Chain A
C-alpha cells in the first residue's frame, strides 16, 4: 500500500483548473495535470483496503488500490499495465467519468475520497507521453469475423477486446467520423478530439477495421451483416431523446440537447451567441449545454431542473457507498449561468412559429403544482436535455424479431447475447442511457463473451 498514515497526513487535493474567465473564452480542456509530488501524495492516501469498495464502485472493476500503490512508489509503467488490464480507454474515463469509485472510497465515509479519477488520467497521459501505449499484436488469429455496429465507447471497447483475442473485427459507424457520443456528444472543453484520434490510431494499428458513413438502418442490412459474420455486436447507443410534450414543443428555437452539442462539436451554425438560453434538464448533458452556451457567449443561460434541489448531505436512505444524491455543482455550472429547481414547464409561447417564452409553475417533490407560482420566462433558445429513452431498435425487430425489454432496450443476458443467435448487444442499447464507463465495461465484457462463445462453438470440448 501507499503510506499507512498517508490519508491522515495529506488532504484530498484536486488538480488545478484554468481560471473561469480564460476557460470560457475557448473550447480547450481546462483541468490541468497534478504535480509529481502531489500525485504521489494523492496516491499515497489510498489505504489499500481489505475490501476496496472503490473497486466495487467502478463498473470496469479497475483494481484501483494496485495502481495507486504503483503511482505512490513511482512505478508508472506498472501503474499503466495495471490500469490497462481492466480499462481500455483510461483517457476517456479519466476525463468524463463521474467517478462512482470515489463516491465508494472508504475515505468518502467522511468526505475526502482518494482522487482516483485524476490519478487514472495522470497514468494514461504519462503512458502516452512516454510512448508506452503502443499497438499490441493480437493473439493467434482465430479466423472468426465479428462486426461491431457503432463506434461509441461500447463498440470501441468490444472491438479492441475482440481484436486482441485474435478475431477479425469490423466496426461500422454511420457518422462520418468515429467515436459516437465521445466525439459528438462530449464538448471539447471536457475532452479534446485529439484524445479520441490518438486512441483510434492505436486501434487501427492493432488491426481493427473501421468503416464510417455506413448506416445499418434497415432490416435487410442487418440480416446481410449477420450473414457475413460469425457474430454481430450491436452497440448503437440509446439515442432516442425524451420528448417535451407541452404545447409549443414544435416551435423553432426548441432544440434537442444532442442536436445542439453535435452541432457545436462539428463547429456548425447553431451558435447561441447573444441569445437567452434555457436548458431543461439538470443532468450532465444539461451542464454540457450550459458550458457550451457560455463559450458561445450566450446572453444568459438558465438551467432548469424539474425535481427539487437535492440535499447537501446524504439522506439516511442513501448511505455510503451508494452514489450520493446530493447537491452538486458541475464545472460548467461553476462557470456561470443560473439554476432553478422544482420548475415545470407548462407550455411554450411562440410568435410566428418562433419560441419567445416559457410558461412554468413550481412543483414539489411529488411533482405537484404549487398554486400561485405560475410564471413566464422570456427565452430565445430552449435546449431539451431531459434524457434518452432507448435505442433505434426498430430495424432489428423487423430483421430478426429480436426481443426488447419493457423500456424498449435490446434484451440481452449476462453473456450479452440477445434473443437472436449470434447477435449480441452492449452499452446503452442494452442498458439504456448510462455512463461511458459502463459502456466501456460492457464492450469489453461483451467482447470476451463473444470470444468464449466462438471458441466453444469451434471446440465444444475445449
Chain B
C-alpha cells in the first residue's frame, strides 16, 4: 500500500481541486437535562461515537480514520488541577478560557505561532496564563494520520477587564487576529496552525482518528476529573480524500452531518455584504476580522464560522440556527403567521445555508439539534427517566433499559430540539421558535417596508418587436431555428420544456465554430452521492422561487428598515412587469437605473473597454443611490452589438462585490439573449435577482393566447429543476452561488469576471468572445437577404445540419458503422473509425486535441493480447427494457454474454425467463443489474442473478434528475417486470431515497453486497468537477467499481437543456477520478469504467491511458443494432424498432447479436494495432499510462489552440510505483454480518429441513439483518423463497440500518425494540414486525419505532410497526402491505402498489407522486386532507365492504403481531371508528382498475324482454 510521501496537505494538482471536498458523518450528543456534570456523560458520548463507527470511513490506510471528535464543557476541576500542576495561577470558573490549539511540527514555526498568539492576547488586554502540552498516545495511530499530525497544545487565557458576557467575543477576536497574523507571516505554509476551540465554556478534542481511537489518543478524556453535562460527538466520513486533523468535527459550535450545497453562494454573499456588516459588539466594522468565512475549509467548517459570528454578534444560538437553516416557510399555509413573518424578514438579512443537514450545536449551556427543511438526515433521540437526553444519527447507540425510557422521538424536517441545561428543560420546536419569533413585530415591519409587486402602478411595456426587426435581432443574438422551434415554441404553447433523446455529440462551445452564446461555455453542476437532488415537482413544498429586489440589510441588526425590499412574483419578469418596476423611479421608494450593454464592436479591445465602462457606471450608480440596476441590451442595431448578458451580470456583480457595495443594490437584467432555462440559471447563478427575456417573449408572442405566461412558467419550472439538481431549494440561495463549471475560458477572464468558477483547461478570453459577438451580430445585420430573413438561422445543435454544427453521429459515421458491423469487414470498419475520429476540419471533442506519443517503441502485433480477451472489458449502456424494446435489449445481452462482456439491465427490472439459457446456449440475462432510484423490479431474485450490481447515482443524459414513464407506455409486460400496474404512470425520483450522503451510500453498498456477496458492487457517476473526490468516497464506501459517465453519452429521454448543459466530457471526469484515486492510494481497489460517447478504438485507447479499465458503449451499440439517431426515443415511434414498444414498429427491428459481436471484435482488433504501435502487450500495461499521451501541437483552430490540457495529462502526484489500476477485487466487508450466525442456525431449514424458530439479541451495529440470508434462500430456492414462516426470528434490541432489507418469503422477523433507517427496504415477500419491548413504559403510538425511508422499493411481503415511523415511509412501495401507527413527511411517495394503513398522524406531502396502490389513514382529527398532496390522488371514505375487510384484517394482524393498544382500541370500536378512515386512491390507478374491472366482468346478457320487444331473436 502506498501513501503519499508528502505529508503536507495537498493543493491543486492536475484536475484535483481541494474545494471539491465534502464530508458527511454520524453525529450525536449526550446531555444531562439539569446540567449535572459527570464522567458518565463523557463516557456515554464516546460510546455513541463507537457505536456509529460504521458511519465513519478510512482511506488507503485502514488505521487512519476520516476524523472523530468530542466537544464538552470545560471541566473546571480538571483544568484548574492541570494549571496548578504547570504552575499557573488559576482564576475561578469562567474567568479563563482554554484554547485547544494545533501547532506546526517545526519547532521554530511553533514558537513563532505561540509568540504571535501571546502578542495578540496581550494587545487585546487579556492575560496569557500559560501553555499546556496535551498528553496523547500515538501508538494507536495509523501511519497516515501520524504523518500529518500537528502538535497539540492548550492555551490558558485569563479574563481581564471584560464582563463575562463579552469574554467569548474577546476570545473570538483574539483567535481571528492570531489566525490572520500567522497566515500573513508565512511561517506556517502548510496551514497546520489551527485553533480547534477557544472558549471559557467548551473545549473540543478531535483529530484524524477512528471513533475508537479518540479516547485512546487523548488521555485527558479518560481522566476522572474530566466531567461534563454536555458532550457532542462526531464521526466523519469524507469523500475528501486528504483528511486533515483540523477538519475533524465538532467545530466550535456545531457538528454537522450532511452537506451545505450552497456554501459558495453563502460565502460570496457574505463577501458581498462586507460593507454592510457592522456590529457595535465588535466595535463597528468587521473588516479586520476578515475573512470571516475561511475559504478552503469544509462546508461544515464554514457554516460554523458563520454561526459563530451570528452568535457572538448577539443572536441566541437557536435564533442564529433559524436564520441559517430556515424551515420551509414559503407557501406553507399551516405555519403560524408570526413565524412566517420572522422568516420573511430574516430572508432580507441572509440567505439560507441550504443542503442536507442534521446539526447539533452547543454553547456550553444549550445543546440542541436541527434538521434541514427536507429532513434529509436522520436524528433520533431518547429521554431517560434519569434525565439524560441522547440524540444521534441512529437509534440504539446507547443501551437504555426499556423501563428507563421516558420518551423516544425523532427530529422532523426543519424542526429544532433544544435542551437548556441551565433551566433544566427540553424545548420542542414550537416552544423554542415561539420565543424567537415573538421578539419583534416582524409582520408589521414587513408591512411597512416591503413593497409587493402588486402594489406597483401599471405601466405600458415597450412595443412588441416583429417582422424584419424581430428577425434581425433574433439572428444578432444568436437565435436559431432550433431555439425557436425546439425550445421556445413548446414552452410557449405547452408551458413545458421540450424533451430530447440520445445524448449530445456536438462540440464543446470552445470547439464550436458556430459562435455559440457565452452561456454554452458553462456546464451545470449537480448533486451526486454527497447530497441528494430534490424532486421539484413532487416535493414543491420545500422549493421557493420567491425573489426580492433592493438593498440588503445588515445581518447583525434587527430594525424595521432592514427589510426595505420589493418582492417580485418570481425571478422571471415579463415586459410589462419590468416596465412597472422602471416606472417606480419617481416615486421615492426605489431608484432604478438602466445601464446599457450596447457597444460598437470596432476593434478587438472593444468588448473589454465596454465592460470596464459598464462596471464604472454601475459603481457610480450605486454610489449615487440607485438601489436597483437594470442591465439592458435593448437597442441593438447595425452599428451596435451588446455585451453578452452573462458577462455583464457577472462582471458588474463581481465589481460591486469587490468594492463591498454589492448588497446596496439589486440587479435586474433586461436581455434579448436569455431564452432557455440554462441561460436564466446562469444569470441568476451569477448574481441577477430578476431577468426579463424581452426578445424571447417577443419571439413567442402570438404563438398561444397565454404564450408569455406559459413561457415564464416553463422557465420557472426549469429553474426549479436546475436548482433541485444541486439539492438547492430556494432561488434566494441559488442566486450568486455560481454552481457551474466553465469549460474553455481562460484564467484571466475567469479571475476578472467569474472569480470562483472552476475552469480547468484554459481557453478563450474577451477577444475571442468579442469576435463571436460580432459573428452573431452579422447574422442579423451583415449580408443577409430579405428572403433569408424570413426563416431563422439554421441551428444544427440538436439535429445534424450540414451547414452547421459538427456531430459525431452523422450520416457518414452511422452508415459506415452499420455497414462495417454487418459485413464484419475490417476495411469498412477502418473507414468508419477514420470518419468518426477525424477532426481535422471541425473539432468536436477534447480527445481530438490529444495524440499518442510517437516515440514509443512498438511491439509486434502477435505479442499483443488477443481480441477475445480485450472484448471482455466492454459493457453496453444501461438502457431499461421499457425504454428500448425487448428485442433490442435481449440482443445486446446475448451478444455481451457471448463475448464475456457485460450488458446492463438499466432501471426497469428483468423478466425472470431471461435467467435461464436458451436452447442454443445463449443467455439473455444482463450481467449488470442496475439499482436506480425507483428500484423498479429490484427484488432479491433480480439482485442474486447478477455478476455486478450497479448503483446508478447519476446518468449522463440528465444527472440529478428523475424520470417518468407515462402510463400509455406501461404495457402488460413492462408493468409485470416493474411490479406495477399497466397503464399507470411510473415516476423515478431524482435521488435514491436511501442515499442522501456518503455514509448512506456505504450502507446501500453493504445491503447489496449482503444480498449477493459474490457480485461486484459498483457506482455510476457523471463527470463534473469534484467527481474525483466523490469517486474516492465511493472507494472508501467499499464499492468494487466506479463508472464515470461523460455528458456526451446518455441515451435516455431528457429535457434538452439537461442533455446539452449538465455534465462534462468523460476525458475530464475520468482523468480527475484517476488522479485523485492514485494520489490517495485507493486506485488499486476498484475498477474504473468510463462511458459517454466512446465510438472507436482511438477513444478506447485514450480512455485506457487516462485510467479506465472497462469501457461502456451505448449509442454505438444501438447504431449497430440499427439505430439511425432519429432522437425521437421519447415518442415511441422509433422506425427501426429499438426505442419503441409498438408491436408493429418492433417488427422492423433487424439487429442481430452477431453484428454486435462483430462490432466489439472489430474495435478490439483495431485497439490491438494501436497497442502494438504504442508498445503495450496487454491493456493492463496501458491503463493509467497518461505519459503516452500528449496535446497535439499543430492545432490551428482559433479557439482550440488556446486550450491547455496539461491538467488532464498530469501524472498523479504519487510515488512512481503507486498502483494506477485495479489489482484487488474489493468487496464490501461483511465479516461482522449477523447473518453468518443466522445462516448457521438455519442451515437445516435452508437445506429443505423443517422450519425453525430463533431468538437473538441485536444492536445498531448489526445492519441489513436478514439480507444475506434472503439472498442465499433465493439463490437456492428461487424467487418463491421458502414456505411462509419457515424461519421465524425474534430479535431484541435496537437494530441497525436496513433491518430486513430484501427479506424474502419464508422469513418472519420480529423485533422487540426499535429499528433504524431503511427497515424493510426492497422487501421481497418476507414479514417484519417491530414492537416495543413489553417492559417499556411509554405509549407505543407516541414513540418512534422505526427510522426514515422504511419499505423503500418493497415489492411484496408484510410489515407491522407498533409506533411511529420517520419520513418517507413506503416510498416507491410496489407491493408490500403494512400497518404503522404514524408517519413523517412524504409517506407513500411515488408508490405504485401495495397497501399502507396508517393508524395515526401523518406528516406533510403524503402521497406525492403516488400512482398506484392504496393507503388508508385513520384520521380522527380530520386534518389529513391538509397533509396530503392531492396532485395525483383522490380521498374517499371507506365504504366498500371488501375494502373494509381488508383494512380490518390488516389491523387485526397488526394487533396479533404487535399487541398494539391502539389497534385494539380501533378494533374494539370498529363500527364507531370506521368512518374516520380516509382512503387514498391514486386517480390514474383508479381509472385503470375500473377499466380492467369492466373488461373482466361478463357482459351483461342482453335483457330478454327487449329482445322480444324488438322482435330480434
Interface residues of A (CB under 8 A from B): 4-5, 7-8, 47-53, 55-57, 61, 63, 65-66, 69, 77-78, 81-82, 84-86, 104, 106-107, 109-110, 136, 139, 164-166, 316-317, 319-322
Minimum CB distance partner of A81 in chain B: B790
Q: When A50-B1127, A56-B812 are in contact, do A319 and B1144 touch as well, CB less than 8 Å?
A: no
User: Is the beta-carbon distance between B1124 and A66 smaller than 8 angstroms?
Assistant: no
User: Is the beta-carbon distance between A66 and B791 smaller than 8 angstroms?
Assistant: yes
Q: Say which residue of A49, A65, A81, A319 sits within 8 Å of B818 (CB atoms).
A: A319
A139 cross-chain contacts in B, Cβ below 8 A: 783, 785
Q: Say which residue of A50, A61, A77, A86 sits within 8 Å of B1126 (CB atoms).
A: A50
CB distance from B666 to the nearest CB of A (A): 41
A322 cross-chain contacts in B, Cβ below 8 A: 815
Minimum CB distance partner of B1133 in chain A: A4
26 contacts between A and B (CB under 8 A): A7-B1133, A8-B1145, A49-B1127, A50-B502, A50-B1128, A51-B807, A51-B810, A51-B814, A51-B1125, A51-B1127, A53-B811, A53-B1124, A55-B811, A66-B481, A66-B791, A81-B787, A85-B788, A104-B811, A106-B1126, A109-B1136, A110-B1148, A136-B785, A139-B783, A316-B822, A316-B823, A319-B822
Q: When A53-B811, A321-B811 are in contact, do A63 and B788 touch as well, CB less than 8 Å?
A: no
B1231 cross-chain contacts in A, Cβ below 8 A: none
Minimum CB distance partner of A109 in chain B: B1136
User: Is the beta-carbon distance between A49 and B799 smaller than 8 angstroms?
Assistant: yes
A166 cross-chain contacts in B, Cβ below 8 A: 783
Beyond A47-B1135, A53-B1124, A55-B811, 5 extra complex contacts between A and B, CB < 8 Å: A47-B1128, A50-B798, A53-B814, A319-B818, A322-B815
In this assembly, does B110 line the interface, its C-beta being within 8 Å of a C-beta of chain A? no
The complex places the Cα of A3 from the Cα of B233 at a distance, in Å, of 63
User: Is the beta-carbon distance between B783 and A51 smaller than 8 angstroms?
Assistant: no
In this assembly, does B803 line the interface, its C-beta being within 8 Å of a C-beta of chain A? yes
User: Is the beta-carbon distance between B1133 and A77 smaller than 8 angstroms?
Assistant: no
Minimum CB distance partner of B1131 in chain A: A4
B1136 cross-chain contacts in A, Cβ below 8 A: 106, 109
User: Is the beta-carbon distance between B1135 and A164 smaller than 8 angstroms?
Assistant: no
Minimum CB distance partner of A166 in chain B: B783
Q: When A81-B791, A321-B811 are in contact, do A61 and B1127 touch as well, CB less than 8 Å?
A: no
B811 cross-chain contacts in A, Cβ below 8 A: 51-53, 55-57, 104, 321
In this assembly, does B131 line the interface, its C-beta being within 8 Å of a C-beta of chain A? no
Interface residues of B (CB under 8 A from A): 481, 485, 501-502, 783, 785-788, 790-791, 794, 798-803, 807, 809-812, 814-815, 818-819, 822-823, 1124-1128, 1131, 1133, 1135-1136, 1144-1145, 1148
B787 cross-chain contacts in A, Cβ below 8 A: 81, 84-85, 136
Minimum CB distance partner of A78 in chain B: B791
CB distance from A426 to the nearest CB of B (A): 18
Minimum CB distance partner of A3 in chain B: B1133
The complex places the Cα of A104 from the Cα of B811 at a distance, in Å, of 9
The complex places the Cα of A84 from the Cα of B814 at a distance, in Å, of 28
Minimum CB distance partner of A316 in chain B: B823
The complex places the Cα of A412 from the Cα of B802 at a distance, in Å, of 22
The complex places the Cα of A14 from the Cα of B1237 at a distance, in Å, of 76
The complex places the Cα of A292 from the Cα of B439 at a distance, in Å, of 101
CB distance from A204 to the nearest CB of B (A): 18
User: Is the beta-carbon distance between A52 and B800 smaller than 8 angstroms?
Assistant: yes
User: Is the beta-carbon distance between A77 and B799 smaller than 8 angstroms?
Assistant: no
The complex places the Cα of A106 from the Cα of B1134 at a distance, in Å, of 11
The complex places the Cα of A55 from the Cα of B785 at a distance, in Å, of 23
Q: Say which residue of A56, A57, A63, A317 sits within 8 Å of B810 (CB atoms).
A: A56
The complex places the Cα of A82 from the Cα of B803 at a distance, in Å, of 13
User: Is the beta-carbon distance between B1148 and A50 smaller than 8 angstroms?
Assistant: no
CB distance from A407 to the nearest CB of B (A): 23
CB distance from B4 to the nearest CB of A (A): 47
User: Is the beta-carbon distance between A51 and B799 smaller than 8 angstroms?
Assistant: yes
B798 cross-chain contacts in A, Cβ below 8 A: 50
User: Is the beta-carbon distance between A47 and B815 smaller than 8 angstroms?
Assistant: no
A69 cross-chain contacts in B, Cβ below 8 A: 485
The complex places the Cα of A320 from the Cα of B786 at a distance, in Å, of 38
B1124 cross-chain contacts in A, Cβ below 8 A: 49, 51, 53, 106, 109
A107 cross-chain contacts in B, Cβ below 8 A: 1135
CB distance from A322 to the nearest CB of B (A): 7
Q: Say which residue of B799, B1144, B1145 sits within 8 Å of A65 (CB atoms).
A: B799
The complex places the Cα of A69 from the Cα of B791 at a distance, in Å, of 13
User: Is the beta-carbon distance between B800 and A109 smaller than 8 angstroms?
Assistant: no
B814 cross-chain contacts in A, Cβ below 8 A: 51, 53
User: Is the beta-carbon distance between B1135 and A50 smaller than 8 angstroms?
Assistant: no
B485 cross-chain contacts in A, Cβ below 8 A: 69
A61 cross-chain contacts in B, Cβ below 8 A: 802-803
User: Is the beta-carbon distance between B783 and A106 smaller than 8 angstroms?
Assistant: no
CB distance from B266 to the nearest CB of A (A): 41
User: Is the beta-carbon distance between A165 and B815 smaller than 8 angstroms?
Assistant: no
Q: Say which residue of A50, A65, A81, A320 sits within 8 Å of B815 (CB atoms).
A: A320
The complex places the Cα of A56 from the Cα of B1126 at a distance, in Å, of 14
CB distance from B1120 to the nearest CB of A (A): 13
The complex places the Cα of A107 from the Cα of B501 at a distance, in Å, of 19
The complex places the Cα of A53 from the Cα of B813 at a distance, in Å, of 11
The complex places the Cα of A72 from the Cα of B481 at a distance, in Å, of 17
Q: Say which residue of B790, B815, B822, B1125 sits within 8 Å of A78 (CB atoms).
A: B790
User: Is the beta-carbon distance between A165 and B1133 smaller than 8 angstroms?
Assistant: no
Q: Say which residue of B502, B810, B1135 sits within 8 Å of A109 (CB atoms).
A: B1135
Q: When A106-B1126, A139-B785 are in contact, do A51 and B800 touch as well, CB less than 8 Å?
A: yes
A317 cross-chain contacts in B, Cβ below 8 A: 823
B819 cross-chain contacts in A, Cβ below 8 A: 319
User: Is the beta-carbon distance between A63 and B794 smaller than 8 angstroms?
Assistant: yes
CB distance from A114 to the nearest CB of B (A): 12
The complex places the Cα of A77 from the Cα of B791 at a distance, in Å, of 10
Minimum CB distance partner of A106 in chain B: B1124
A48 cross-chain contacts in B, Cβ below 8 A: 799, 1128
User: Is the beta-carbon distance between B1135 and A77 smaller than 8 angstroms?
Assistant: no
The complex places the Cα of A47 from the Cα of B1139 at a distance, in Å, of 14
User: Is the beta-carbon distance between B1125 and A164 smaller than 8 angstroms?
Assistant: no
Q: Say which residue of A56, A82, A110, A316 sits within 8 Å of B791 (CB atoms).
A: A82
The complex places the Cα of A446 from the Cα of B971 at a distance, in Å, of 55
Minimum CB distance partner of B789 in chain A: A81
Minimum CB distance partner of B501 in chain A: A50
User: Is the beta-carbon distance between B809 and A51 smaller than 8 angstroms?
Assistant: yes
User: Is the beta-carbon distance between A52 and B799 smaller than 8 angstroms?
Assistant: yes
CB distance from B704 to the nearest CB of A (A): 15
CB distance from A29 to the nearest CB of B (A): 27
